[in-house]
Amino acid sequence: MAHARALAAQMPEGRRHYLAHCADRYRFAVTLAAGLTSGRTGLLPSTFNATVASQLKAFAEDAFVVTDDPRLATDLPLLMFPDESPAPADDEPIPAIPADHPVAWVFTSGSTGDPVPHRKTWGKLVANVRAERGELGLAADTPFAVLGTVPPQHMYGFETTVLMPLLCGGQLVAERPFFPTEITERLAALPAPRLLVTTPFHLRNLLESGQAVPAADRVVSATAPLDVGLARRAEAAFGCPLLEIYGSTETSQLATRRTLDGPQWRLFPNVCLSQRDDACWASGGHVEAPMPLADVIAIDGPRAFRLCGRNSDLVNVAGKRSSVGYLSAQLLAVEGVRDGAFFMPDTAPADDIGRPAALAVAPGMSARQVLAGLRERIDPVFLPRPLILLDQLPRNATGKLPREVCDRLLSEHREAAP
C-alpha cells in the first residue's frame, strides 16, 4: 500500500484515466492499486501503439500512461514508474473500494475497427475472481503462487494472474517468462501449491522443447481451445490437473472444465446462459450486463454447456460445412507442422469460391508436403488456398493471431505471386 500511495501522489492531478503499460506484473498491480485508491479508472486495450493511443485519447481526453519502459514513445502524458520503493508503514490501512467503482474500461475490436469499451466494476471483479478460486479447486485457507505467461493487460491475465492472487491470498509473480527455460526455472523456484497460467500456444512450445518440466498443482489455460492430446501430455508432464477457462473480454470468465473429463463446461456460480435471437446470452453473477456470446453453444443444464464452434468460425465451401477451429486442429496434427492456423480471408479472388487460407510453420517441409498431410485428414474442398509457410507465426502476447496480420500476410503473398 505504501508503494501504491506514493505512486498515486505522483499521478497528474485532474486526470482520471490511466493506462498501466508495465511489463512487470508487480508494477502493474501497484499502478492498479494507486488508481483504485485515488478514484481513477484504468484503460486496458488489447494492444498499445500510436493508433490505439489516439483512440484512447478520443475516448478519455484526460488519459495518461504509467510505464516501466524508458523507451516508450507516445503522445499521451507519460509517468515513469519510480525505481525506489517507499518504506512500508506498520499500520498502513487497506482502504475500502466502493463496489460500483469503475476499475477499468476494457476494449474489444468493433466491426469498424474502432475499439469498443466495456466497463468493469470493483464488486463484479471481486465476485469473479473469488468464484474462480473455488472453480479451480484452490482451498480458501491455503496460499498459492501464480506464474503467468500472459500479460496482465489482457483480461485473462488481469483476472487470473493479478486480481486472484491479490484478492484470494495468493502470491503474485512479477516476471512474465516466455521461453521454455525461463518458464520451467521460474516455476520450479516457487513454493507449492503453484499454478501455471498459460495458453495453448505457450503450452505446446514448452512441451515440444524437450525441457524438463517441474511439478505443479494446477495448469490453467485459456484464449483458445485446447486439444485433448496436448492436455494429456501436459497433465503427464506437470503431474496435476489441467483446467481450461472460458470467457471473453466483454463477459469476463464464465466457466471452467478439465479437458480430459470431456467437452462439457461448468458455469461459475450464479451465471446463466439463455438462447434468444439466434444467439446465446450470458447474464447474472459477476457479468456486468447481459451479453451475447460469439460462440455457438449447446446448453445441457443450469450450469453445463458445450461449445460447438464460433458464429464467425463456420466454413461453407461448395455446400460442405466445417469450421476454422476444426481445420486448424487438423493442420496442427500433420506430422512435421509445429504451428499453424486456418482463417477465412476478408476478400478473395472471384474464382476462389470462399476457400479458407492457412499459415503454417513446418521446418524442412514444402507446401506440397503439408497439403498432402492435410489431404489425409480433411475433405479436399477445404484445403487452404493459399497455404503460406513461415518461419514463425506472428502471434501476440496471448498466443492469438490478429486478424489484420493474417490479412496482411495474405495480401503480401498474393502480390508476390507470379
DSSP structural state of residue 216:
-
User: What confidence category does residue 319 fall into, taking pLDDT thresholds of 50, 70 and 90?
Assistant: low
Torsion angle of alpha carbons 66, 69, 72, 74, nearest 10°? 0
Q: What is the pLDDT of residues 336-352, one digit of tens each?
A: 999 999 998 875 544 44
Q: Show which of 96, 129, 163 is a domain's final residue.
A: 96
Residue 9, beta-bridge partner list:
none
Domain count, the chain: 2
When mean pLDDT is compared across 216-225, 264-273, 374-383, the lowest value belongs to: 374-383
Whether 191 maps to a domain, the answer reads: no
Which domain covers residue 11, as residue numbers? 1-96
Q: What would the mean pLDDT of 313-317 be, rounded to a whole number?
A: 74
Domain boundary pick from 75, 96, 117? 96
Provide the pLDDT confidence category of residue 279 given band limits of 50, 70 and 90.
Answer: confident
- Structural domain includes residue 328: yes
Q: Sorting pLDDT into bands at 50, 70 and 90, what band is 112?
A: very low
In a domain, 259, yes or no: no
Q: CB of 233 within 8 A of CB of 207?
A: yes
In whole angstroms, give the CA distance from residue 297 to residue 359. 27
Instruction: Tally Cβ neighbours within 10 Å of residue 126.
Output: 17
Cα end-to-end distance, the chain, whole Å? 62
C-alpha radius of gyration, the chain, whole number: 22
pLDDT greater than 50 at residue 369: yes
Q: Is the predicted pLDDT of residue 125 greater than 90, yes or no?
A: yes
In a domain? residue 361? yes
User: Is 252 among the domain residues?
Assistant: no
Looking at 96, 113, 147, the residue that finishes a domain is 96
The reply to whether 123 falls in a domain is no
Give the up-direction half-sphere exposure of residue 140: CA atoms within 13 A in the CB hemisphere. 3
Q: What is the CATH number of the domain that holds 388?
A: 3.30.300.30
pLDDT in tens, 285-314: 999 999 999 888 999 999 999 998 776 677
Please spell the DSSP secondary structure of 57-110, one letter per residue. Answer: HHH-TT-EEEES-TT---SS-EEEPPSSPPPPPTT---PPPPTT-EEEEEEEE-
Distance CA 295, CA 272 (A): 15
C-alpha cell at 417: 505471386
What CATH code is carried by the domain that includes residue 72? Answer: 3.40.50
Residue 179 lies in a domain: no
Residue 328's Cα: distance from chain center in Å? Answer: 18
pLDDT tens string 351-363: 445 689 999 999 9
